[in-house]
Amino acid sequence: MSQDQFTPQDPTTQHDSPGSGEKGVPYPGRTDEMDVQPDHGEQTYRGTGRLEGRKTVITGGDSGIGRSVALAFAREGADVAISYLPDEEKDAQETVRLIEEAGRRALTVPGDLREQAQCEELVERVVAEFGGIDVLVSNAAYQMAQSAGIEEITPEQFDRVMKTNVYALFWLAKAALPHLRPGSSIIATSSVQAFSPSPHLLDYATSKAAIVNFVKGLAGNLAEKGIRVNSVAPGPVWTPLIPATMPEDKLGEFGAQAPMGRAAQPAELAPFYVFLASQESSYMTGEVLGVTGGSPIT
């Protein structure tokens, strides 16, 4: 259900609950495998030049929140590089199409960010192709729900979650720093799970709490350099990661726990990344913007 972003609407009914009847898909999940397609803002997002000429990079930019942010950044006038797992090439090419359709340059850098060398290569490729980096969005994430909690979480899974969600943010920020000028912005995707952890997402929630702390600490570290560091903390969002990592019998109720009674669509997250990337948020750093459908992040 697509709506004009400027028309006042009842937020509880603006989008349908997407998970009813959805079937599970193999990890990492592709958009075209989903029965109910996410809304990335294809028909609704209107740019106003707020990121004109910016050089940006988005990890996990092939689908979900990453695609919606890539689309919004491009329509705001930015060139966009995206990273993603090689298995997600089909989704990545659709994101490229949307970026180029907006008249901006797109760069794809597939690879696994659990490796420090891949994080460094991503930064090097973007700098070589675009001539610098103005905005780094660390958005790629891994989760795998385990109904029994810690009893089912293997050391291998815990390691994968931490390296994808936390280590990659550290490696990317460290590699990008020499190329970031005053006025640049680092934005990390955390989660409502950082503040209200679900038992079946224990390791994922722990990693998202680490991101919140890292963002606050790094913001203080880089403030005198004129580089801002902030985070967006989504609540439940309908992306390919959900049917790929949650039990099929739980998909129908996905998002129902939010006070608004539904999951968000990726398009509802993108404006907050644009705000944090733009000059409009020039006096904000070390902040976490909760986009949770009413769930608290305190």
- Write down the pLDDT at residue 4: 58
Task: Give the pLDDT confidence of 185-227 residue by residue, as tens digits.
Answer: 999 999 999 999 999 999 999 999 999 999 999 999 999 999 9
45 included as an active-site residue: no
Residues 6+ apart with CB under 8 A from 213: none
* Better-predicted residue by pLDDT, 38 or 19: 38
Distances (CA, A) of 5 to 2, 42, 55, 67, 270: 9, 11, 25, 17, 12
Residue type, 99: I
Kindly report the CA angle at 126 between 220 and 223, in degrees rounded to 5? 10
Which strands, in side-by-side order, build the sheet including 135-138? 106-110, 79-84, 55-59, 135-138, 185-189, 228-234, 288-291
Best-predicted range by mean pLDDT among 9-23, 25-39, 57-71?
Answer: 57-71
Instruction: Flag whether pLDDT at 43 surpasses 60.
Output: yes
- Write down the pLDDT at residue 53: 98
Residues in the chain: 298
Instruction: Flag whether pLDDT at 46 surpasses 80.
Output: yes
Question: Could you tell me which residues are beta bridge partners of residue 289?
Answer: 232
Task: Give the pLDDT confidence of 89-135 residue by residue, as tens digits.
Answer: 999 999 999 999 999 999 999 999 999 999 999 999 999 999 999 99
State mean pLDDT over 253-276: 96
Report the alpha-carbon distance of residue 100 to residue 139 in Å, rounded.
Answer: 21
Backbone φ, ψ for residue 294 (5° rounding): 105, -10
Annotated domain spans of the chain: 46-291
Instruction: Flag whether pLDDT at 3 surpasses 60.
Output: no
CATH code linked to domain 46-291: 3.40.50.720
Q: Which of 204, 179, 181 is nearest to 193 (CA)?
A: 204
- The catalytic position among 84, 142, 204, 273 is 204
**DSSP H or E stretch at residue 149:** none
225 three-class SS: helix
pTM of the model: 0.94
- Write down the pLDDT at residue 298: 82
